Structure 1
Amino acid sequence: MHLAKVVGTIVSTQKDPHLVGCKLMIIKKINEDSQFEKYSSQSTAIAVDTVGAGIGETVIVTTGSTARFVYGDKATPLDMTIVGIVDEIQTSDVKKTL
């Protein structure tokens, strides 16, 4: 799983039938300090939202076959799913409420 920030939405009227009705969000990977990962090969990506996330929110993203499993349809052509909205990040002595 990864931390990411939702930075936009995608509207697609023509897509695979398995994706009809899916909410598609543009996400950027972040680190535990909420800083964007600049050199990640997937720093910006499109994810299916299953939790009702909005632009600007910090989210938990899962990838690969787990993303399809969470969505509930192994035939769906997706490899990234938003599975949680982050309320707080705590590392060592630092606690950050989002």
Structure 2
Amino acid sequence: MIAAKLVDNVWATRKIDSLNGLKFMLAEPIGSEQETQRFIVVDTVGAGIGDRVIVSKGSAARRIFTDQELPIDAVVIGIIDEDCHF
């Protein structure tokens, strides 16, 4: 898991049917040398732009979905409280 900040929404007007209804956002890692390397996450907790979040990546990200064959590599699994500092 990694900490990230959500920096924008990502809209895909055309995508495979299994991804319909999922909310995509652009995330930026926090507290690492890779802060400029952004990636797309699926938001499952209702986070918004500017929120600091906990992200699960890789095959573990798919395990929260019933269909574990979804082509998903990163999922928001929690929102970090404001009083936490990195």
Same fold (TM over 0.5): yes
Aligned residues: 84
CA distance, structure 1, for counterparts of residue 54 and residue 64 of structure 2: 13
CA distance, structure 2, for counterparts of residue 69 and residue 41 of structure 1: 26
CA distance, structure 1, for counterparts of residue 77 and residue 36 of structure 2: 18
User: 1:18 offset after TM fit, Å?
Assistant: 1.3
Gaps of 5+ in 1: 32-36, 90-95
The two structures have a TM-score, normalised by structure 2, of 0.88
Query: Which structure's CA Rg is the greater one?
Result: 1
CA distance, structure 1, for counterparts of residue 73 and residue 36 of structure 2: 12
Native 8 Å contact 2:29 2:35 kept in 1: no
The two structures have a TM-score, normalised by structure 1, of 0.78
User: 1:42 offset after TM fit, Å?
Assistant: 8.1
Gaps of 5+ in 2: none
CA distance, structure 1, for counterparts of residue 55 and residue 21 of structure 2: 19
User: 1:48 offset after TM fit, Å?
Assistant: 0.2
- Structure 1 segments of 4+ aligned residues over 2 angstroms from their partners: 39-43
